[in-house]
Amino acid sequence: MASVRYFYQLSNHKQQSSAVLKQKVYQLNNILEQSVQAVDGIHGLAQYYLKRPAEISGYLPKLSQENKMFYLDIKEHDVVKEGRRLNSNITGTGNVSDFTADKKLEITMANALTPAFVSAQKIIKQATWFYYISLDQFVSLYPWVDRDVWHFNSATLKNPLYQKMKKFTEINNQAIWSAPYLDPAGTGRKTSLGKAVFYQQKQKRNR
């Protein structure tokens, strides 16, 4: 009798485990699908702004120079008194005074994507970062991270995901996933999803 009960409990446990696993797979698949939809939506907005700059609800943000690096220059923010900062931080390399009209447009566009980043993270709670990283040596990162903690590094553009994205054209462009990796910002093991942005048939970049 004890033997029968053991095998019954084992069978029941396997069924329950299978049901739990199926539920977790469903939840994970839903998160992945939402992530692709979010990146596709942000990508579409970036392309739209680049083609129709007059419709960007913003302007070139104030940037300051620090040696070879530039950064978004905005007032200090007291998180305790004012709550979470709802800005993307922009950092990059190059001299602000030498920026071309195209680079100014791209930075303005990247800054204008912040509301989309904020909304996407509200929906996808598991998403740690949203960012637009440019082949023109800058990144717009949300949530905000002070530049002394993390800032643009040109070595980032050499990782395998970006190398794959560089091979895309406007015709075969699609969202792709990276292999799992350890987040350099210290948030643990992650995977990233990216899609290239094009302007006048030249790839800019998105993620």
pLDDT for the residue 3: 38
pLDDT for the residue 130: 92
pLDDT for the residue 77: 61
Closest to 147 in 3D by CA, of 70, 59, 61, 67 = 70
DSSP, collapsed to helix, strand or coil, labels residue 28 as helix
pLDDT for the residue 185: 64
Helix (H) or strand (E) holding 109: helix 101-112
pLDDT for the residue 137: 94
pLDDT for the residue 138: 96
Give the gyration radius of the chain's Cα atoms: 21
Q: Supply φ then ψ for residue 47, to 5 degrees.
A: -65, -40
pLDDT for the residue 203: 73
pLDDT for the residue 15: 65
Task: For 51-156, list the strands marked E by DSSP.
Answer: 63-66, 69-72, 89-93, 130-134, 138-142
Flag residues of the chain having pLDDT under 50. 1-4, 6-7
Q: What angle do CA 201, 205, 206 make, to 5 degrees?
A: 130
pLDDT for the residue 128: 87
Give 123's contacts (C-beta < 8 A, 6+ positions apart): 34, 38
From the CB of residue 43, how many other CB atoms can be counted at a distance below 10 Å? 23
